[in-house]
Amino acid sequence: MDKFETLTAIAAPLNIANVDTDKIIPARFLKTIKRSGLGVHLFDSLRYLPDGTENPGFVLNQPKYRKAEILVAGENFGCGSSREHAPWALLDFGLRCVIAPSFADIFFNNCFKNGILPIALPAEICAQLMEDAALGTNARLTIDLAAQTITRPDGRSISFDVDPFRKHCLLNGLDDIGLTLEHAPAIDRYEAARPAWTPAIAGV
């Protein structure tokens, strides 16, 4: 996983509530055995017209937002499925940070596993950032994860909360599995103390 330290980039506004995982990437594109290459299908139903051509009205199709690396979105972003294809598609497109008033739990968690920083902020602050994002090529925000700040285009700064453990993993690009395996002796002890009736799935 890539480290996330600081990011200065264009922010794109997507002022829609309840953007679901089928909207981020429809189920028909999940038939892949890889993590890469999903960016072309990101927001498929919004981004493309029924004939397959780009919808010029969609924010990420506008020249000023094509290089966006930050998304400012509406409440309950990422609701629906547990598919990690949703953050993979965001990442493959180039988006590294999503700011919204709230997120669905599984999506929020999946972001951290892929070097994407999801930031939940009060609705009124998100509304200000949505206005910043509407500035197009001037919609540059700077995210400093160590300092937990977002610097707006006018130089003012907003602070945000992040779980300390997830922050540590993101700043250092750490592999969760490696960290957990340090607890292997505790896992061994736990398993040894399990009640005898706990069945195993043998002989399927």
Partner 1 sequence: MARTLFDKIWDAHVVDRMADGTCVLYIDRHLVHEVTSPQAFEGLRLAGRKLRRTDATIAVVDHNIPTDADRAQGINEPESKLQIETLEANVAAFGVPYIPVNDARQGIVHVIGPEQGISLPGMTIVCGDSHTSTHGAMGALAFGIGTSEVEHVMATQTLLQKPAKNMLVRVDGQLPAGCTAKDIILAIIGKIGTAGGNGHVIEYAGEAIAALDMAGRMTVCNMSIEAGARAGLIAPDETTFAYIKGRPFAPKGADFDAAVAYWKTLPSDAGAVYDKVVVLDAAGIVPQVSWGTSPEAVLPISGAVPDPAAEPDEAKRAQLQQMLTYMGLAPGQKLAGLPVDVVFIGSCTNSRIEDLRAAAAVAAGRRVAPGVRALVVPGSGLVKAQAEREGIADILIAAGFEWREAGCSMCLGMNPDKLTPGQRCASTSNRNFEGRQGPGGRTHLLSPAMAAAAAVTGTLVDVRELV
Binding site for partner 1 (CB under 8 A): 15-18, 20, 22-23, 26-28, 30-35, 45, 50, 74-76, 79-84, 87, 102-106, 109-110, 113-114, 163-165, 176-177, 179-181, 183-184, 186-187, 190-191, 195-202, 204
Residue 15 or 159 with smaller CB distance to partner 1 = 15
CA dihedral 61, 138, 95, 23 (to 10 degrees): -40
For residue 86, the minimal CB distance to partner 1 (Å) is 9
Residue 138 or 188 with smaller CB distance to partner 1 = 188
Question: 84: which DSSP letter?
Answer: T
How would you class 85 by CB atoms within 10 Å of its CB: exposed for 0-12, middle for 13-18, buried for 19 or more? buried
**Best CA proximity match to 58, nearest among 40, 38, 44, 76:** 44
Residue 56 or 199 with smaller CB distance to partner 1 = 199
For residue 31, the minimal CB distance to partner 1 (Å) is 4
Other beta carbons within 10 Å of 131: 14
Q: Distance between CA 197 and CA 160 in Å, rounded?
A: 47
Residue 20 or 144 with smaller CB distance to partner 1 = 20
| Alpha helix stretches (DSSP H) within 82-203 | 85-93, 105-112, 123-133, 164-172, 176-181, 184-192
For residue 179, the minimal CB distance to partner 1 (Å) is 8
For residue 49, the minimal CB distance to partner 1 (Å) is 12
